[in-house]
Structure 1
Amino acid sequence: MANRREIEREVLGAIAELSACRPSTGELFRELHTLLAGPLGFDGGCWHGTDPVTGFPTSTVADGLDPGRFEQAVHLEMFGEDTTNFTAIRAAGHRVQTLDRATDGRPGTSVRYQELLRPCGYGDELRINFDLGGGRWASAALMRGHRRGRYGPAELRLAERIIAPIGAALRNAHLVTLRRARSDRSVQAGHPPAVAILDAQGRFRSADAGARELIRRMAEPISRACAVPTGFLTVACRAARDTGTSEVRVCTPDGRWFTLYASPLDGGDGRDGEVAVVISPASPLHRLPVAILAHGLSPRERQLALHAVRGSSTKDITTLLHLTVPTVQQHVTAILDKTGVRNRRELVALLTADHLPTLALPPRT
């Protein structure tokens, strides 16, 4: 029987082989769910694609869960104050957390456990934020039945070790969609802004033809109970909670990027009334933060890349960032190497323009 170290090596090797195939985000989630179920010991779970900038869930792949409770789970995530929420886990300085550890062995103090996990027969939950290089690429909630007991140190260690390779695979998947983005003119012509109205429970009240088409293309098995894709629920819940506008970037399964804007109607509280969601093709400005994160630049390199997009000269950057000319030049060289372009002009085009035939795929590493 293989020991835990051997299991870790096998799992990491399998993830590397899977990543080499450059799967889409959805395909990667489905393969990972099967691959990790045994080593991590979970009975059900959900994997969320996220807006890399905000970390808001935008898509879901799930197995072993009740689709009828999906909207309830989203509301608990967005409105609840549980220490096991993905945002709370980040705020506490963790990337991996379990229900048992977050509640000091008292799961009954968790509203999520009381209202969602225990009724479904789950005793513990492992939550992972796949954060890498400043990007929040995905998150996962993996539940195990009471008979398995609590997650232990071995599972937590494995969960920590898989974050970097899975985060890199997700980052590359985003990079492929960004490099293959169609021109703004084509997207705008085929997808003018669309509108959908959601009620306080996250159900659709009405939608125009454009919104219905996008909803159809983003359909997820977990949300078929009310046909609301994760991104719509997330942005509507966020607007309702903050009683103001909210936005999130989403990428459809066919690689199209959109921005969803949500706002409570009549200036009221979205928890009691309706929320309008406006869907527009994501502009280069909205894709820019994702593009910078997806190329794996360091924090300082991201700063320089933004200044390059703004048209700042080397002299300007040395003054703004209090760096020497040689240091700026070294950073620029590193940026060009990581992005696979030859000069600043191509860098700006890569980060802000759409489809460039000569820059169709990320450089292989």
Structure 2
Amino acid sequence: MQDIHYWKRRSEVHLKDNQNSVQYRQKIIEELRDFISFDAYCCTMTDTQTLFSIGAVTEQSIEDIHQQIMSLEYDSQDINSYVYLVESGKYIGKLSDVSSQSKRYREVLEPHGFSDEIRAALMFQGQCYGFLTLFKRIDNGQPHFQDADVNQVKILMPVMAEALMGFYHTIIDERLFIEEEQSGIIILDEEHHIISTNTKAAQLLTLLRNNEGLLDWQIPKPIQAFCAKLQANKLNSQYSLLVPINNKGYVTVQASVLMTADSQQQIAILLNEASPKEMLPYLLIAYHLTPREKEVVVEVMKGIPTKIIAQNLGISSYTVQDHLKLIFQKVDVADRNELVWKLFTRFN
């Protein structure tokens, strides 16, 4: 078993050698195979607020059943759900300890030849930046994970999480080169097969697939997550998910359920380049602003003078000025006008 110092050194090597999170995750997981026997994996990055997947690397045997797994994730209170692992503070679980109680095991994993899984929430500084799931097949010489395997993953978890945080908070200065007109629209049937799409959606769909290293017929994980949540009636249709695309820009995903004239359910996915308003909360996190600094920035965006900001936030004008100095340093600007431009105006 390798200790955390080993994994930190290896993580630094892979971060240096690989320019995007997909390559990084693949390299770390390949190295993990030297110490744990597993037959398949899925490693997803998540939106820290909703725990929605914003992109995953997945072996093909799991890719084939991923939508089924995700549907059960949102449609039932199954063992070791990802949300449960985070909210309970457990963070990691081995399915074979409780597999007889798992609907996921009975209905999906076992019928497809899998005997066990380890699920791990990749947590850093109280935020979940992804999930790592390892699988064993029934025909594996040792079909169940051991406690030592769980302990090795536990050691790796915060190291991977810190690396994914860096990828998640990377500030992308580029704009997407896509059609400027209406929203990108994708229509999917009940089985999540694409029925139709417009030009803009096709362009953005390609970006999302490339972001995960998917083939041109596969459905990106953010869209899978929306479909599963909608079908489980656990999604506000007004919700918009922001997906950073490595070195490209930011895509937003929305979805709603449609009914055909013969009462068949369809799902409409809306894809767009993120607006400045949608990007602002993400950028405030990316620049590592404190909660109070975020409040000050929001006031500045409204054009409110220092004295009124102080009154609105219940602090002194001197304190507002101190916050602004730190904000300017973090965002690397000289004044309010540059701050508004860097966080908002330049994305119009």
TM-score normalised to structure 2 length = 0.82
Give deviations 1:202-225, integer Å, cap 9, x for gaps: 221222233233323333688659
Q: Does 1:193 align with 2:190?
A: no
Q: Which residue of 2 aligns with 1:288?
A: 280
- Contact preservation (8 Å) 2:123, 2:157: no
Listed as ranges, the gaps of 5+ residues in structure 2 are none
Please report the RMSD computed on the Cα atoms of aligned residues, expressed in angstroms.
3.3
Q: Does 1:299 align with 2:280?
A: no
Deviation at 1:285, TM superposition (A): 0.8
Structure 2 Cα separation of the partners of residues 224 and 30 of structure 1: 17
Partner letter of residue 232 of structure 2? R
**Distance of aligned partners of 1:340 and 1:148 in 2 relative to their CA distance in 1, 3 Å threshold:** farther
Listed as ranges, the gaps of 5+ residues in structure 1 are 357-365
Q: Does 1:241 align with 2:237?
A: no
Q: Does 1:97 align with 2:92?
A: yes
Q: Which residue of 1 aligns with 2:222?
A: 231
**Distance of aligned partners of 1:64 and 1:226 in 2 relative to their CA distance in 1, 3 Å threshold:** closer
Structure 2 Cα separation of the partners of residues 127 and 209 of structure 1: 38
- Contact preservation (8 Å) 2:204, 2:272: no
- Contact preservation (8 Å) 1:218, 1:253: no
- Contact preservation (8 Å) 1:130, 1:167: no
Moved more, 272-281 or 148-157: 148-157
Structure 1 Cα separation of the partners of residues 277 and 236 of structure 2: 22
Deviation at 1:52, TM superposition (A): 4.3
Secondary structure at the counterpart of residue 219 of structure 1: helix
Partner letter of residue 206 of structure 1? S
Q: Does 1:275 align with 2:267?
A: yes
Q: Which residue of 2 aligns with 1:170?
A: 167
- Contact preservation (8 Å) 2:122, 2:157: no
Structure 1 Cα separation of the partners of residues 220 and 299 of structure 2: 36
Structure 1 Cα separation of the partners of residues 126 and 302 of structure 2: 22
Partner letter of residue 141 of structure 1? T
- Contact preservation (8 Å) 2:42, 2:62: no
- Contact preservation (8 Å) 1:240, 1:275: no
Structure 2 Cα separation of the partners of residues 303 and 39 of structure 1: 46
Q: Which residue of 1 aligns with 2:69?
A: 73
Q: Which structure has the highest helix share of the two?
A: 1
Structure scoring higher RCO (CA < 8 A, sep ≥ 6) equals 1
Moved more, 114-123 or 344-353: 114-123
Deviation at 1:60, TM superposition (A): 1.8
State the aligned residue count.
Answer: 338
Structure 2 Cα separation of the partners of residues 314 and 20 of structure 1: 42
Q: Which residue of 2 aligns with 1:47?
A: 43
Name the % identity.
18
Structure 2 Cα separation of the partners of residues 277 and 197 of structure 1: 6
Q: Which residue of 1 aligns with 2:319?
A: 327
Q: Which residue of 2 aligns with 1:11?
A: 7
Secondary structure at the counterpart of residue 38 of structure 1: coil
Deviation at 1:160, TM superposition (A): 4.1
Structure 2 Cα separation of the partners of residues 132 and 180 of structure 1: 28
1:180 aligns with one of 174, 179, 182 = 174
Q: Which residue of 2 aligns with 1:214?
A: 204
Deviation at 1:263, TM superposition (A): 0.8
Deviation at 1:329, TM superposition (A): 3.0
- Contact preservation (8 Å) 1:26, 1:253: no
- Contact preservation (8 Å) 1:42, 1:143: yes
Secondary structure at the counterpart of residue 342 of structure 1: coil
- Contact preservation (8 Å) 1:341, 1:347: yes
Structure 2 Cα separation of the partners of residues 222 and 65 of structure 1: 15
- Contact preservation (8 Å) 1:25, 1:170: yes
- Contact preservation (8 Å) 1:223, 1:230: no
Secondary structure at the counterpart of residue 209 of structure 2: coil
